[in-house]
Structure 1
Amino acid sequence: MMNWNRPPYRKSGDVELAGDAHLLYPSMMESPALRWAFVRKIYAILSIQMLLTIAVSAAVISVKPISQFFVSSSAGLGLYIFLLFLPFLVMCPLYYYYQHHPVNLILLGLFTLSISFCVGLTCAFTEGKVILESAILTAVAVVSFTLYTFWAAKRGQDFSFLGPFLFAAVMILIVFAIIQAFFPMGRISTMIYGGLASLIFCGYIIYDTDNLIKRYGYDEYVWAAVALYLDIINLFLSLLTLFRAVDS
């Protein structure tokens, strides 16, 4: 469970924060330089994760024997199932070692690689037009909601209230997916699922960006990167599901 307690911050009496044009949010009681450095660190890690995901996915899509191995043999199917569960397995040691450098970064890399292979395999059996549409819309949504959250936070808005609603929405989404798996309800149902999931993960981008700005401690950079990375990947996969249903 994440620790939302802030690290010891400098008081406003120690440094003139009120007139600082670089404050991330009005009630900020820490040095803006420290928080901006933390934000830059998170987005640097996130950029590397996204580049790794793009590279692995492109390799899986372009090298046909890779995707064929996963679908044409029992060993490939077993490896695919293992890769699906690997991120959950990595999360356990990652939670324990998230403050231990460089073990935390190695585990984060393994976590990213396993998800990247799954994304690549999903894209390998999807039309290029659908992948491009989903990727462009994901990029536009991420940039737009990130800029909006920074703008809104600086004007005093807080998005922590979204947490319980988004969690409840994800639980409903999981139940919806289980029902759909056992009792398929057709293309319209898949479109509804993809659309709802896309909206939910757009909300998570705002929520986790707000946490990044205000609540994550400086030693929680791994968790912050994981949260935003999963938001982006899930948004992309949700849009992929939606556009595939529309295109079919």
Structure 2
Amino acid sequence: MYQKVDVESGSASTPLYPMMLESPELRWAFIRKIYSIVTVQLLLTIAVAAVVVAVEPISVFFATTYTGLALYIVLIITPFIVLWPLAYHYKRHPVNYFLLAIFTVTLAFAVGLTCAFTSGKVILEAAVLTAGVVVSLTLYTFWAARRGQDFGFLGPFLSGAIFVLILFSLIQIFFPLGQISVMIYGFLAAIIFCGYIVYDTDNLIKRYSYDDYIWASVSLYLDIINLFLALLTIFRAAD
């Protein structure tokens, strides 16, 4: 088994997966950096969403005025627009963090507006279940990677599943199929983003380069947020 000696501590370090050629210390430092960024993103999301939910005039403005509707549409598309300059400046500090902050805040505002019209019990159930699933899948992926399992094969399947999910959502928008179909959509979305959490965590362990910390953070953050929204959809339909 490959072992790398830590020069500073003098102790042996266990590789994260078989045939690992890089220093485990460097990869662990990269992983800690990613999870630190994602944690800050999630805390910022909770703070922004809590303000939107707590201050009722905000949600009323967005729900009852044409200006609010237009701003809501802007908030939904802004995160995707920000990803375009982020693709060019993801290595440029501090521009990359500034763009990441805009991406996170605008998406958090949209999440907050979704939660504003949802009961507190449903939000709590979805949040607790999301946290449990994310922690469980993350631990499982690290455990499986240590034993030589590779989840790179999930990429093409998940991409195809996302395409099907988008078509499903478009059908729901133009031809609503009822409450049962909404729950089916939520279940499909939850399963898909559970797969993405495993896939992106595996990439974090094995494939992302050290300069890809912004993209790795965005990927994991979107996986978690989308899983939460999928579970929220299921619980809202069942409530």
TM-score (norm: length of structure 1): 0.92
Aligned mates of 1:60, 1:224 — CA distance in 2: 27
Equivalent position of 2:60 in the other structure: 68
Q: Distance in 2 between matches of 1:35 and 1:75?
A: 47
| Separation in structure 2 between the aligned mates of residue 20 and residue 242 of structure 1, nearest angstrom | 47
Aligned with residue 83 of structure 1, among 66, 75, 91: 75
- CA distance in structure 2 between the partners assigned to 1:61 and 1:16 by the alignment: 51
In the alignment, residue 98 of structure 2 is paired with which amino acid? Answer: I
How far did 1:155 drift? 0.6
SS of 1:219's equivalent in the other structure is helix
The RMSD of aligned alpha carbons is 1.4
Q: Which residue, out of 191, 197, 211, partners 2:183?
A: 191
- 1:19-30 matched pairs, under 5 angstroms: 20-30=12-22
Give the drift of 1:23: 1.3
The reply to whether residue 127 of structure 1 matches residue 105 of structure 2 is no
Distance 2:23 2:217 in 1: 21
Question: Deviation of residue 75 (structure 1)?
Answer: 1.4
How far off its partner does 1:115 sit? 0.4
Q: Distance in 2 between matches of 1:191 and 1:68?
A: 26
Report the Cα offset of residue 74 of structure 1: 1.5
Residues of 1 paired with 2:22 and 2:12: CA distance?
12
- Counterpart of 1:124, as a letter, is A
Deviation at 1:71, TM superposition (A): 1.2
**Cα separation, 2, equivalents of 1:132 and 1:33:** 37
Distance in 2 between the 1:113 and 1:88 partners?
Answer: 13
Aligned pairs for 1:157-168 (under 5 A) are 157-168=149-160
TM-score (norm 2): 0.95
Secondary structure of 1:210's partner? helix
Question: Does the 8 A contact of 2:59 with 2:113 survive in 1?
Answer: yes
Query: Mapping of 1:163-174 within 5 angstroms?
Result: 163-174=155-166
Structure 1: give runs of 5+ residues left out of the alignment.
1-11
Do structure 1's residue 202 and structure 2's residue 211 form an aligned pair?
A: no
Q: Is the 8 A contact 2:5 2:13 kept in 1?
A: no
Check whether the contact 2:165–2:185 (CA below 8 A) recurs between aligned residues.
Answer: yes
Question: Following superposition, which runs of at least 4 residues in structure 1 exceed 6 angstroms of deviation?
Answer: none
- 1:23-102 superposed matches below 5 A: 23-102=15-94
User: 1:6 — aligned with what?
Assistant: none
Kindly provide the CA deviation profile for residues 145-169 of structure 1, in whole angstroms up to 9, marking residues without a partner as x.
0000001001100000000001100
Return the offset for 1:22. Answer: 2.9
Tell me which of the two structures has the higher relative contact order, counting C-alpha pairs closer than 8 angstroms and 6 or more residues apart. Answer: 1
User: Which residue, 133, 145, 148 being the options, matches 2:140?
Assistant: 148
- Taking the aligned partners of 2:124 and 2:15, their CA distance within structure 1 comes to 37
* 2:13–2:24 Cα contact (<8 Å) kept: no
Counterpart mapping for 1:229-244 below 5 A: 229-244=221-236
The aligned length equals 234
Structure-2 separation of matches of 1:62 and 1:27: 51
Report the Cα distance in structure 1 between the residues aligned to 2:140 and 2:168, rounded to whole angstroms: 30
Question: Letter of the aligned partner of 1:107 in structure 2?
Answer: L
Deviation string 1:99-119 (CA, Å, 9 cap, x unpaired) is 000000000000000100000
Is contact 2:18-2:147 (8 Å) kept?
Answer: yes
Tell me the SS of whatever aligns to 2:211: coil
Structure 1 residue 16 displacement after superposition: 5.3
Q: How far apart, CA to CA, are the structure 1 residues paired with 2:15 and 2:121?
A: 42
Identify the match of residue 214 of structure 1 among 206, 221, 225.
Answer: 206
Partners of 2:173 and 2:197 lie apart in 1 by 27
